[in-house]
A and B are shown apart, each in its own frame.
Chain A
Amino acid sequence: MTTTIAIAAAIAIGLSTIAPAIGQGLAASKALEGMARQPEVAGEIRTTMILALAFMEALTIYGLVVAIPLVNKL
């Protein structure tokens, strides 16, 4: 039982980290491209990028929130 819970926690946090990481990488690379091409709107792009990253970050946090109770049950 304990092993199953440990594996479940690992999968929860592991999977929920991979996808947002890819998404954040894509978003940041595109945002940087945009900033390099148009430095005059860099401030706006940065704000929007942080916002987008925050939304993706939330997905990871959901995984974390699921993982914490699982780890606590060990």
Chain B
Amino acid sequence: MIEKLHSIGISNAMITSTVITLILCAVAVIGGRRIESVPSSKLQNALEAGIEKLYRFFEDIMGEYACRRYFPVVATLFIYILVCNYSGLLPMAGHFPGLAAPTSSINFPMGLAVVVFFATQIVGIRESHGPRFFKHLFQPFAFLFPIMLVEQFVRPLSLTLRLYGNVFGEEAVVSSFFDMVPLGLPLPMQALSILMGFVQALVFSLLAAIYIGEAAHTAEHL
């Protein structure tokens, strides 16, 4: 069946990311199906703790107003990237048919970065009520416009390359270690990649939060 999917141009990263999406949706539906004011289920407790922690974290970065409105985007970014990074730690990832860390293919981080890019522009336009938002490209000096414009387009590129490069580099190192000494040697690298997966997810969502928060607050300074 996986061969068939491959033959119509569906890659391993796509399959894995879809499976992850479905699993996360299932967790959300199960966890959010019955919410009690005094939680009795462990799932609800865990989800609550996680969501509140994320909310406080992004509230510190984006400010209260922006966080209340755009929390879903950045929180989903964090959760999705985290789970995708960790999917690369599963046994046989990259060799088992249909299983590969989606973030180790450049297209996946690029898609997310493009979403963040457009989200930033849309948020800016929405918060400053119209194309007035683009005036911020001419501030503080009009002659800096080319640089500001380039910065806007470098942001998604750097987001993409950072996530992709880290995950791909990590996997490349683990696999070359595996080729050298299959037993034991890749272990410290994999332990490091647990930390790295978390940090990269955090950095990606943190930068997205900063960009979106900045766009939401630009309206005040125009």
B28 CB to closest chain A CB, in angstroms?
A: 27
A51 at the interface (CB under 8 A from B): yes
B172 CB to closest chain A CB, in angstroms?
A: 9
Encode contact with B along A34-74: 1 for CB under 8 Å, 0 otherwise. 00000000001001001100100110111011000000000
Q: Tell which of A47, A50, A57 touches B166, judged by Cβ atoms closer than 8 Å.
A: A57
Q: Tell which of A44, A51, A61 touches B161, judged by Cβ atoms closer than 8 Å.
A: A61
Encode contact with A along B189-222: 1 for CB under 8 Å, 0 otherwise. 0000000000100110011001000000000000
Check B165 against A65 for contact (C-beta < 8 Å).
yes
Count A-B pairs with CB separation below 8 Å: 35
Check A60 against B203 for contact (C-beta < 8 Å).
no
Cα separation A63 to B149 with both chains bound (whole Å): 23
Q: Note all chain B residues with C-beta closer than 8 A to A60.
A: 165
Cα separation A65 to B164 with both chains bound (whole Å): 9
How many chain-A residues does the 8 Å CB contact rule pick out?
12
Encode contact with A along B137-170: 1 for CB under 8 Å, 0 otherwise. 0000000000000000000001001101110110
Q: Note all chain A residues with C-beta closer than 8 A to B60.
A: 44, 47
Knowing A47-B61, A50-B199, say if A61 contacts B206 (CB, 8 Å). Answer: no
Interface range for B: 10 to 19
Give the residue among B165, B168, B202, B210 with the most A Cβ atoms within 10 A.
B165
A65 CB to closest chain B CB, in angstroms?
A: 5
Q: Note all chain A residues with C-beta closer than 8 A to B162.
A: 54, 57-58, 61
Q: Note all chain A residues with C-beta closer than 8 A to B168.
A: 64
B23 CB to closest chain A CB, in angstroms?
A: 27
A54 CB to closest chain B CB, in angstroms?
A: 4
Beta-carbon contacts under 8 Å, B168-190 to A: 168-169
Interface residues of A (CB under 8 A from B): 44, 47, 50-51, 54, 57-58, 60-62, 64-65
Interface residues of B (CB under 8 A from A): 60-61, 158, 161-162, 164-166, 168-169, 199, 202-203, 206-207, 210
List 27 A-B residue pairs with CB atoms under 8 Å apart, sorted by A's residue number. Answer: A44-B60, A47-B60, A47-B61, A47-B206, A50-B199, A50-B203, A51-B206, A54-B162, A54-B199, A54-B203, A54-B206, A54-B207, A58-B158, A58-B161, A60-B165, A61-B161, A61-B162, A61-B164, A61-B165, A61-B166, A61-B169, A62-B161, A64-B165, A64-B168, A64-B169, A65-B161, A65-B165
